[in-house]
Amino acid sequence: MKKDVFITGTDTGIGKTLVSCALLSILAKQGGTVLGMKPVASGCQQTSQGLRNEDAELLIRHSSKLMPYSLVNPYAYKDAIAPHLAAAQSDKPIDLEKIQRQYIELSAQCDHLIVEGVGGWLVPVNRTQTMADLVTMLDLPVLLVVGMRLGCINHALLSYQAIVDSGLSCIGWVANQIEINMPYLNENIASIEQRIAAPLLGRIGYHQEPDSDSIGDCLNTRYFDGKENGRE
């Protein structure tokens, strides 16, 4: 059964790419054709082939087929700033309908398409729209990555509620430990579990240099196996 999913997070730099690449690796090993997509990326390096984003290149590396970079990452910006600011600065506005067209093109070529967001759930992409508007347009179920650090409970609950209020399904969440010695880690995870209806799909321990290929056993992929519909 074909299933795509959107990966969002409680903030920037909390493991969205790590989880996205881990899912791509797991699903590929299960025999499916998988592709990754990073519709918007800020913080790109100038290369001989144009602007390139490290996260988008990781998604390409973990995909089953090599797709054109511009199809995987249609909007790439040099400065690591909020995408709507980067777009205004470079005079390259973000058009959600263009992203939708490219999503449809990619999705038609695979069993599972993992779409990674930028920043958090409500980060602006232009003067009137946010990443949430894109996910609503694509009508994708959402997986929430929670960066486990001080303040994570509030961030997780706010993000989850915003997803639900958007009328979308949250298929689950992943706890990613980003602080080496987070006080009361287990208690924080339990507090979120008690307050979020979506299931905890994985716990990723602290890694100084995280490797998506080594954390596959930490993730529950039941949403993709046809036994769970992912809807609340």
User: Number of folded domains in the chain?
Assistant: 1
Residue 66 is assigned to a structural domain of this protein = no
Share the mean pLDDT of the chain: 92
Q: Is the pLDDT of residue 229 over 50?
A: no
Does residue 58 lie within any of the structural domains? Answer: no
| Cβ atoms of residues 114 and 36 within 8 Å | yes
The confidence score (pLDDT) of residue 170 equals 97
**For residues 134 and 17, what is the distance between their CA atoms, to the nearest angstrom?**
18
| pLDDT, tens digit, 9 for 90 and up, residues 149-173 | 999 999 999 999 999 999 999 999 9
Residue 161 belongs to a domain: yes
User: Is 70 exceeded by the pLDDT of residue 228?
Assistant: no
Range of the domain at 179: 5-37+96-225
- Sign for the pseudo-dihedral over CA of 126, 156, 176, 138: negative
Tell me the CATH number at 174: 3.40.50.300
What pLDDT is attached to residue 219?
86
- pLDDT of 193-215, one tens digit each? 999 999 999 999 987 666 666 67
Q: Is residue 76 part of a domain?
A: no
Catalytic residue list contains 38: yes
Provide the pLDDT for residue 154: 98
**What integer is the mean pLDDT of 128-151?**
97
Which residue among 2, 3, 38, 98 is the active-site one?
38
CB 131 within 8 A of CB 161: no
* Beta strand 34-37 pairing with 142-148: unpaired
On the question of pLDDT at 231 being above 60, the answer is no
Distances (CA, A) of 169 to 3, 94, 187, 191: 13, 25, 26, 21
Residue 139 lies in a domain: yes
Kindly state the tokens that stand for 116: 């990674």
| Domain assignment present for 208 | yes
> Helix, strand or coil for residue 171?
strand
